[in-house]
Amino acid sequence: MFYRESGDFKTSYIQDQQIFPILQDRVFVTVIIAFAFLVVPFLINDYWEKSVLLPVLIWSLAAIGLNILTGYCGQVSLGTGGFMAVGAYASYKFTTAFPELNLFIVVLLSGGVTAMVGILFGLPSLRIKGFYLAVATLASQFFLVWLFNKVPWFYNYSASGQINAPERLIAGIAVTGPNAPPWATYLFCLVFVVVFALVAKNLTRGRFGRSWMAIRDMDIAAEIIGVAPLKAKLSAFSISSFYIGIAGALFFLVYLGAVEPTEAFGIDKSFLVLFMIIIGGLGSILGSFIGAAFMFLMPVLIKNILVNGLGWSPDIVAHLILMIVGGLIMFFLIVEPHGLAQLWRVTKEKLRLWPFPH
Amino acid sequence: MQDTVKEDDILLEVRNISLSFGGVRALENISFDIRKGEVRAIIGPNGAGKSSMLNVINGFYHPQEGEIWFDGKRRHHMKPHQVAKLGIARTFQNIALFKGMSTLDNLMTGRYIKMRANLFSQMVWVGPAQREEVEHRQRVEEIIDFLKIQSIRKTPVGKLPYGMQKRVELGRALAAESKLLLLDEPMAGMNLEEKEDMCRFVLDVNEQFGTTIALIEHDMGVVMDISNRVVVLDYGKKLADGSPDEVRNNEKVIDAYLGVSHD
Ligand SMILES: Nc1ncnc2c1ncn2[C@@H]1O[C@H](COP(=O)(O)OP(=O)(O)OP(=O)(O)O)[C@@H](O)[C@H]1O
Ligand SMILES: [Mg+2]
């Protein structure tokens, strides 16, 4: 696909402010979304649902959430796993307390609860920055997981200490529980991801996004143009947590179905999402998708090739994957903080001018 | 001199400002005023307290003593973002641009206080948020034309040469359409040509938009050329205050500023 800007002149600021200013991009994205909604549901099976599509969709949402906070507003957080747990437990409490409540509303409310918890744990960011803030959010990670393990009210006093997603229907079709068909769980997640990716794009290209980036790039200059650090940071924390809470709720309700907090929402999840946005691209919604897909699928792919294909020992492959991820993280942090999304942009830039680079 | 000026001709007045950091007395009992529509220069040797004075005016530093009056009202303890809403914009001595953003986005961000769209309309975009975005984009484009930075509109500011960055920072301050513009050494480190351009812009802003300007500058030639009145600081104290000619011929100023003993 060649990118051509010629013949695609922008005649108004509205056109210049589009999410995808280049025609080919617009067509491409429209086709992908149409394909995702109209074709994939007919092709999907259990394997694709559980091993590829649901996790990539849900992690993308979590990555967008963390990217809003870290990539756009510059506040490093290691609490993602804990905030996902808040979303999961909130959805569990809502749907068990009000079984008739529509599942869309349950998930949105869970996001809302997580947003409020996010504000609370975001308060230290008004005093501390960078490494120290990361440590503070790490504390919230451990505190939240501990809380959901320790207080029986959160898991409705179940003997196992686990939470289980009860079957819930939307328009007569099961979306949670063992009887939910793959296309239903997939579409349920897809709606959230598409709608909230668009919302994130809108927020980040407007006044809110600019106030976050201003705080990220130069907080004293942000203040002198009238950005209140309190408002900017806490709005980033709450909106970011809203996304992560929704991701946590979906992760529990439609993907895992049963959850034990230490295992499902441990510190490894916080790092996973952080790696996703570093590799995908800090401060990029597209990068959140690329990073989530890459971080989730790359290990699967390598494992398939090396263990199943070439018969390597799984242990060695697991270590190899860790080394690859570590190497990539260092590469992107040092060489290209804007991640794979930026590499894609640069390639496009080159294609656009091709074959006359000057 | 003060007496001949009507009260409502004064945009900003600082009265008996004293500021110290631990043992360092950065400002001692400083008073001066800035009249509507003038270019007011603040000069003095390194460490005199000039930047500290601007930091007091826009709320970064809170003086231990003294009063600040803006637009006829006594201003109480305020944070910088509140001061911005009153109508005071500034640039920094060391460039403080948003380096992850393009020139255009830096200027759009400069209009933050002028924009109103709430969270919900921002999320939906189509409608009020988009209308507002276009409206403000038009104003920003006017500033881009004014500063002749059309060609770097979409360039990330981190990639711009120093002189251009200074110009973009002026643009960002202009974008707020404030009443008072504080410029901390806008021409420092520039070559002659860039300096001349910047002088022109400062004068044009003052004349065309009627913006009141207070600027810190080391280049005496520039100060004499473009300012209406000059206040001289030295070691936190006010040495002199008056027209460029008065200040230039003031013996205390010659001693302190040029560092030559007078005999
Ligand atoms: N935040 C601070 N903490 C401690 N001391 C400070 C602080 N800000 C300024 N000072 C001190 O106050 C004095 C005045 O500094 P200021 O930056 O206002 O000088 P200046 O006139 O702007 O100098 P220059 O021409 O070098 O920019 C200096 O002695 C400086 O060390
Ligand atoms: Mg200074």
Q: Are residues B110 and B156 in the same domain?
A: yes
As a whole number, the mean pLDDT across chain A is 91
Write down the ipTM of this complex. 0.92
Distance B50 CA to ligand 2 centre (A): 6
Of A14, A199, A223, the CB nearest to B123: A199
Rounded distance, CA A333 to CA A316, Å?
A: 26
Best mutation target among A18, A194, A213, A225 (most B Cβ atoms within 10 Å) is A225
Neighbours of A355 (CB within 10 A): 6
Query: Looking at ligand 1, which residue's alpha carbon is closest to its atom 17?
Result: B51
Residue A357 has pLDDT above 60, yes or no: no
- The mean pLDDT of A176-192, rounded to a whole number, is 95
In the DSSP assignment, the letter for residue B185 is S
Instruction: Say if residues B128 and B121 touch (Cβ distance below 8 Å).
Output: yes
Beta sheet of B180-184, edge-to-edge order: B88-91, B180-184, B212-216, B39-43, B229-234, B237-242
Instruction: Say if residues A203 and A209 touch (Cβ distance below 8 Å).
Output: yes
Q: Are residues B182 and B169 in the same domain?
A: no
> Please, which pLDDT band fits residue B2 given cuts at 50, 70 and 90?
very low
Q: Are residues B1 and B83 in the same domain?
A: yes
pLDDT value of position A350: 77
Neighbours of A71 (CB within 10 A): 30
Residue A144 has pLDDT above 80, yes or no: yes
A152 versus A18: the higher-pLDDT residue is A152
Query: Looking at ligand 1, which residue's alpha carbon is closest to its atom 28?
Result: B47
β-bridge partners, B130 = none
Instruction: Name the strand (E) or helix (H) holding A302.
Output: helix A285-303
How far, in whole angstroms, is CA B213 from its chain's centroid? 6
Residue B93 covered by a domain: no
pLDDT value of position A356: 62
pLDDT value of position B253: 84
Task: Tokens for A171, please give them.
Answer: 């328009």
Spell out the residues 6+ positions from residue B45 whose beta carbon is closer than 8 angstroms to its own.
B234, B256, B257, B259
Torsion of CA A276, A279, A284, A286, to 10 degrees: -80
Domain boundary pick from B129, B153, B175: B175
Instruction: Say if residues A83 and A248 touch (Cβ distance below 8 Å).
Output: yes
Task: Tokens for A150, please give them.
Answer: 């320790």
Domain boundary pick from B133, B156, B175: B175
Q: What residues pack around ion ligand 2 (CB closer than 5 A)?
A: B 51, 93
Rounded distance, CA A138 to CA A42, Å?
A: 42
pLDDT value of position B195: 93
Q: Is A309 at the interface with chain B, CB within 8 A? A: no
Distance from CA of B263 to the nearest CA of A (A): 45
Q: Contact A213/B101, CB-based, under 8 Å? A: yes
Residue B152 covered by a domain: yes
Instruction: Name the strand (E) or helix (H) holding B56.
Output: helix B50-57
Q: Are residues B153 and B185 in the same domain?
A: no
Q: Are residues B29 and B135 in the same domain?
A: no
Q: Are residues B17 and B62 in the same domain?
A: yes
Instruction: Say if residues A7 and A22 touch (Cβ distance below 8 Å).
Output: no
Number of alpha carbons in the 13 Å side-chain half-sphere of residue B69: 17
- Domain residue limits at B217: 1-87+178-258
Domain boundary pick from B158, B175, B192: B175
> Please, which pLDDT band fits residue A245 given cuts at 50, 70 and 90?
very high
Spell out the residues 6+ positions from residue B162 whose beta carbon is closer than 8 angstroms to its own.
B95, B189, B190
Spell out the residues 6+ positions from residue A146 whose beta carbon is closer than 8 angstroms to its own.
none
Q: Is B131 at the interface with chain A, CB within 8 A? A: no
> Please, which pLDDT band fits residue A91 given cuts at 50, 70 and 90?
very high
Q: Are residues B199 and B77 in the same domain?
A: yes
Residue B250 covered by a domain: yes
Residue A5 has pLDDT above 60, yes or no: no
Distance B47 CA to ligand 1 centre (A): 5
Instruction: Say if residues A72 and A213 touch (Cβ distance below 8 Å).
Output: yes
Residue A91 burial (10 A CB sphere; 0-12, 13-18, 19+):
buried
Spell out the residues 6+ positions from residue B130 whose beta carbon is closer than 8 angstroms to its own.
A14, A17
Q: Total structural domains in chain B?
A: 2
Helix (H, G, I), strand (E, B) or coil at B222: helix
pLDDT tens digits for range B28-87? 999 999 999 999 999 999 999 999 999 999 999 999 999 999 999 999 899 999 999 999
- The mean pLDDT of B214-238, rounded to a whole number, is 92
Lowest mean pLDDT of A145-154, A187-196, A320-329, B89-98, name the range.
A320-329
Residue in B with minimal Cα distance to A216? B98
Instruction: Say if residues B112 and A226 touch (Cβ distance below 8 Å).
Output: yes
Residue A354 has pLDDT above 80, yes or no: no
Distance A75 CA to ligand 2 centre (A): 29
Task: Tokens for A162, please give them.
Answer: 């686990």
**What is the CATH number for B251?**
3.40.50.300
Instruction: Name the strand (E) or helix (H) holding B30.
Output: strand B24-35
Residue B1 has pLDDT above 70, yes or no: no
Best mutation target among B57, B105, B112, B183 (most A Cβ atoms within 10 Å) is B112
Residue B96 covered by a domain: no
Residue B263 covered by a domain: no
Task: Tokens for A206, please give them.
Answer: 């407007």
Task: Tokens for A290, please give them.
Answer: 């690329």
Q: Are residues B251 and B214 in the same domain?
A: yes
pLDDT tens digits for range B92-145? 999 999 999 999 999 999 999 999 989 999 999 999 999 999 999 999 999 999
> Please, which pLDDT band fits residue B261 given cuts at 50, 70 and 90?
very low
Residue B117 phi/psi, 5° resolution? Answer: -50, 130
Give percent above pLDDT 90 in chain B: 82
Cis peptide bond prior to A355, omega within 30° of 0:
yes
pLDDT value of position B41: 96
Q: Are residues B188 and B83 in the same domain?
A: yes
Q: Are residues B163 and B191 in the same domain?
A: no
pLDDT tens digits for range A18-62? 888 778 788 888 999 999 999 999 999 999 999 899 999 999 999
Strands B65-70 and B10-21: antiparallel
Instruction: Say if residues B216 and B50 touch (Cβ distance below 8 Å).
Output: yes
- The mean pLDDT of B15-31, rounded to a whole number, is 95
Residue B94 covered by a domain: no
Q: Which long-range contacts (CB under 8 A, 24 or more apart) does B61-65 make?
A: B61/B19, B63/B17, B63/B18, B63/B19, B63/B27, B64/B18, B64/B19, B64/B20, B65/B16, B65/B17, B65/B18, B65/B29
B190 versus A15: the higher-pLDDT residue is B190
Of A211, A224, A228, the CB nearest to B90: A224
Residue B5 has pLDDT above 60, yes or no: no
Residue B95 covered by a domain: no
In the DSSP assignment, the letter for residue A42 is H
- The mean pLDDT of A96-109, rounded to a whole number, is 97
Residue B240 covered by a domain: yes
Q: Are residues B154 and B206 in the same domain?
A: no
Instruction: Say if residues B212 and B183 touch (Cβ distance below 8 Å).
Output: no
Q: Are residues B74 and B112 in the same domain?
A: no
